[in-house]
Structure 1
Amino acid sequence: MSDEPEHHRQDNRSPALHFEMVRRKPAALLTGIVTDICGYRETRPGHFRIVEYASLTVPLVISFAEPFAIGLGHSPGDNDRHASFAAGLYAGAVMIESFGGACCVQVNFTPLGARQFFGLPMSELRDRMVGLDDALGFAGIALREKLGETTDWNARFDIAEGFITSRLAEANALSPEISWAYRTVIMSGGRTRISALAGEIGWSRKHLAAKFTDAIGIGPKTLSRIVRFNRALSLSKRQDEDWAGIAADCGYADQAHLVREFRQLAGETPTGLAAMI
């Protein structure tokens, strides 16, 4: 375990679990770029399934063993196997299956951090998984080989952080207008009007949407929807599922509007989702 104060690891190990997970918060200089780095290894055979809901995490997965089966908005099939890949934002539910032999490092980027790290329009990653060689070229393949040479999670995390830091040193700066608009949407809980954002910057709504899509893969309207959804989901854990009140707190037109958004972004009704988490 690292002794540096800005590094923290969290181990989830139990005989009842089918996996080992080790998690580290990134170094301070990666604040706002990377939210966390995880090591995951399955420890017994089986067929395992999880569902992830619309989020603002852009993952880079580097695999050392069996691939995952991943379906965007549907149960994955035989053609949905992915080993090492980067995945952009997706405004819906993601079904992930594994079969007892998965082992990987996962780096979770913020949307703005991903744009700097990958150095390409994030619209190229939106709604899809892109292979490691396509996302990072030969450097990505070399990174995977280096990570695979050790089985120690802490050493792997050090290697991953070093690679990210080195790549960011050569990255272009983000547009200050897009950075400001993104953070404004986040801080408002997704309730800021898009026309107000564009007006404050001095851009048209169309220009703002185009720049947003390049930077994070989705437009400001979709970003606001995902932010509102996640805030509503968080509030449901503290307000005894008062969905009408939650809808009002989060800026939905009414409870029916909230239900429609949950169906689209999570594939479940609010009550159905609350019962599962």
Structure 2
Amino acid sequence: MQPLAPSALWEIATPSPSSRLPGVAMAGFRARGAADLGVVPFPAVTLAIDLGPEPLVVAGDGRQVRGSTVIGLSRGGLRGGGRDVHCLQVRLSPVVAHAVLEGFTSESAPLAGWDEVWGRGAVQLEEQLRTAASWEQRFALLADALTTRRTEGRPMDAEVAYAWRELTRSHGTARVDALAAEVGWSRKRLWSRFRSQLGLPPKQAARLVRFDHAAHRLAAGAHPATVAAEAGYADRSHLHREITDFAHLTPSAVAREPWLSVDDVAWSAPGYLRG
């Protein structure tokens, strides 16, 4: 485990290079006592596989899920926590999620139980992860399961995957018209195929990626005016509106969110998003 500062709740474990997969990031989390935190929107589909003695609880969008949970590319307003939380969290590039989570879309079901989405074998795999002797063994078990499902899963249009990679590479500033021209499609066709396969229209996905970049810059201590200019917002007011729309928080509140404070420890290789 890699412990955070003494004042922090979380102990975090990360996998060795042998357990890492393209488009996938994994981390193990353990918190002593009660934990409650907001879920900051993020441009990846998140699996929170519950390994603790008491159920993990995630609530929002008019729904509450107890136990292992799937969180889509959703807006803010979600909260997660419980007592003595112990979970394996996985972030999937939407390209990978399309293949391994058949039937799940961020637009129609931004919050779901893992067994609903994974289907047959979810209970058995969760039990194997619970009884594994180490975090590294858990990471390897899940990596094998994800590799199998991706091989057998739904293919994604190469053009859609390219558009997603360009949106993440540009921190959400790439223009949809230009991306459509690059792949040889009409704007309407790219919009339709992107939305059907990733669960969000490309403009909304671009806003989410740009929001994520801005939120992390704010958490790192950058001034809001500087962040607005760097991230391509019209001005500081535009940044404020976008942060509030996605996170239901002000920029200064987002900068203090515990969810963001662990990112440099748990998710040290952001390139996995392009998967």
Scaled by the length of structure 1, the TM-score of the pair is 0.80
1:11 to 2, 19, 29: 2
The aligned residue for residue 153 of structure 1 is 135
Alpha carbons of structure 1 residues 98 and 26: separation in structure 2 relative to 1, 3 Å:
farther
Shift of 1:126: 4.3
Rounded Cα–Cα distance in structure 2 between residues aligned with 1:34 and 1:273: 25
SS at the partner of 2:161? helix
Shift of 1:260: 0.3
Which runs of structure 2 are paired with 1:199-218 in the superposition (5 Å)?
199-218=181-200
* Matched-pair contact (CA < 8 Å) for 2:102–2:117: no
Rounded Cα–Cα distance in structure 1 between residues aligned with 2:135 and 2:19: 19
Match for 1:224: what amino acid? Answer: A
Which runs of structure 2 are paired with 1:25-104 in the superposition (5 Å)?
27=18, 30-31=21-22, 33-35=23-25, 37-43=26-32, 45=33, 47-64=34-51, 65-72=53-60, 80-100=64-84, 102-104=85-87
Which runs of structure 2 are paired with 1:259-274 in the superposition (5 Å)?
259-274=240-255
Q: Which blocks of at least 5 consecutive residues in structure 2 are unaligned? A: 262-275
Rounded Cα–Cα distance in structure 2 between residues aligned with 1:73 and 1:54: 13
Rounded Cα–Cα distance in structure 2 between residues aligned with 1:259 and 1:13: 30
Rounded Cα–Cα distance in structure 2 between residues aligned with 1:29 and 1:259: 36
* Matched-pair contact (CA < 8 Å) for 1:87–1:125: no
The aligned residue for residue 94 of structure 2 is 111
Identity of aligned residues (%): 29
Scaled by the length of structure 2, the TM-score of the pair is 0.80
* Matched-pair contact (CA < 8 Å) for 1:71–1:94: yes
Shift of 1:194: 1.7
Q: Is residue 233 from structure 1 mapped to residue 215 from structure 2 by the alignment?
A: yes
Alpha carbons of structure 1 residues 198 and 121: separation in structure 2 relative to 1, 3 Å:
farther
How large is the RMSD of aligned CA atoms in angstroms? 2.8
Instruction: Tell me the alpha carbon deviations over residues 52-108 of structure 1, each in whole angstroms, 9 at most, x when there is no partner.
Output: 32211212222233222323379xxxx6242012221112243222123x3222222
SS at the partner of 1:135? helix
Aligned positions, number: 257
Bigger Rg over Cα:
1
Alpha carbons of structure 1 residues 215 and 121: separation in structure 2 relative to 1, 3 Å:
farther
Instruction: Tell me the alpha carbon deviations over residues 220-245 of structure 1, each in whole angstroms, 9 at most, x when there is no partner.
Output: 1111111212222334466740x334
SS at the partner of 2:255? helix
> Deviation above 6 Å: which 4+ runs of structure 1?
none
